Homo-oligomer: A and B are copies of this chain.
Amino acid sequence: MPDQNGGSSGAGSGLFGAVFARGGASGPVADDAAWLRSMLATEAALARALERAGLASRGAGAAVTKAADANFGPAELAELSRAAALTGNPVPGIARVLTRRVADPAARAAVHAGATAQDIMDTAAMLVARDALGAAIADLTAAADITARLADAHRRTLMTGRTLLQQAVPVTFGLVAAGWLSGLDSAAEWLAIVRDTRLAVQFGGAAGTLASLGADGARVRALLAEELGLADPPLPWHTERLRVIDVAAVSARACAALSKIARDVTLLAQTEVGEVKGNPVAAVAVLGCARQAPGLLATLVACAEQEHQRAAGAWHAEWQPYGHLLQLAASAAAWARDLLGHLDVDTARMAANLAEAGGLPLAERVTALLRGSLGAPQAHDLVAAAAARSASSGVPFRDVLLATPEIENTLTKAGISQARVESALDPSGYLGSSEAFITAALDAHATLTLPRPG
């Protein structure tokens, strides 16, 4: 059960928490403790809002806030659990404990007044998301800054491009890093967009009319939103769940961006490739987090089919996947920051792997060189024959091209010097727009202004 103060004994840490519930400057995000804190914060803010609206006695806000600040002991947590088994959610138990804790009867009347359980849970879900998204944004931003430095530093670090896991024309590690950067920036940007525009207070009462507050409902809601620093939506969203989906979608999207990077790192770090080294646990953990995200997102999207003014099950089914997905996004971001921050790029090995290929990845360029003089068909045939001879003999493609008498003959006749062939085989001359692309990605990163909390 949760430690309300979010210490390391919270359920969020758990047996697998070291891997899957990392991130969060002050303890795990979106764990039981975070949910409980957020529900209590919502109940407290509601009492303050009611007092400000003149619907609760003076001091009621402070009294309920004080009651909500006190820790929940094992007996009270057990009480929540028993009440949840009877009502289907933990809010009634929380309201009961708070009511008991507030001594003054006038103040006591402000506990949970006008609210339904879903108001408290949904608003708490927004607070949980704000913290979790904030943690993920911070780690993604840091990871992006690191990656931008890698991209810049390795603008001309040649390495083999690889398509379908086979060596292809050369790239630079800077270009690879620029691709990662682009994903990291976009991941952070959309997390921030959702955090800053889509987190709204939920307050509708039993059926979304706030009837028990008479004409004051909308005003109380505005004050509640102000107390919590959340948006005040046009109307209750009890069964319009797009906010939940948006939080989930950008979380899964961040995991997706990170999974691409971690996949590349694990492949580049293979013993036989050896082009980077890093914290192997970090790469594996990113992939382990990311693989869990799509299914959780699917659940949350499917849960949007909610009946009337409160759903019979589809709402309840959101709680666990929602919290879990937020945790995974924050955890993946934290691991990725660690991974990228300690990435050891072995430029010598990159060069060696490229040299080992013996020029074969540049065959398309040699063909292009010969096409003008020989015509496309003969150029294509000559290069294909050289590649085949290289493959069967083990002699590097470069050497076949430059040291086979009949090829020499053909080239001489065509007026193509060995120097030009050698030049065509130089990977550093076949990088196209790589550097322009790196610059563009760095420029985009530099101008990305992520709105930051507080």
Contacts and interface: CB of A to CB of B under 8 A. Distances in A.
A291 B313 contact: yes
Contacts of A59: none
B437 A236 contact: yes
Given A90-B16, A163-B309, A312-B165, A211 B431 contact: yes
Given A9-B1, A166-B280, A234 B305 contact: no
A54 interface: no
A81 interface: yes
Nearest to A443: B234
B32 A285 contact: no
Nearest to A275: B272
A308 B162 contact: yes
Contact of A1 (B13, B169, B180, B297): B13
Interface stretch (A137-145, A256-264, A378-386): A256-264
**Tally of this chain's copies:** 4
B15 A1 contact: yes
Interface in A280-295: 280-281, 283-295
Interface string A308-329: 1111111111011100100000
B237 A182 contact: yes
A433 interface: yes
A165 B269 contact: yes
Q: Which of A9, A88, A272 has most chain B Cβ within 10 Å?
A: A272
A263 B305 contact: yes
Interface residues of A, number: 149
A85 B206 CA distance: 39
Nearest to A183: B240
A301 B312 contact: no
A209 B438 CA distance: 10
A192 to B, nearest CB: 14
A146 B186 CA distance: 36
B304 A257 contact: yes
Interface stretch (A60-68, A245-253, A398-406, A412-420): A245-253
A234 B312 contact: no
Given A167-B271, A267-B307, A440-B235, A88 B209 contact: no
Interface string A202-217: 0001111111111101
21 contacts: A1-B11, A17-B81, A18-B90, A88-B285, A161-B309, A167-B272, A169-B209, A171-B208, A179-B236, A182-B237, A208-B437, A214-B432, A235-B437, A236-B437, A249-B249, A263-B306, A264-B308, A267-B307, A272-B353, A291-B303, A291-B317
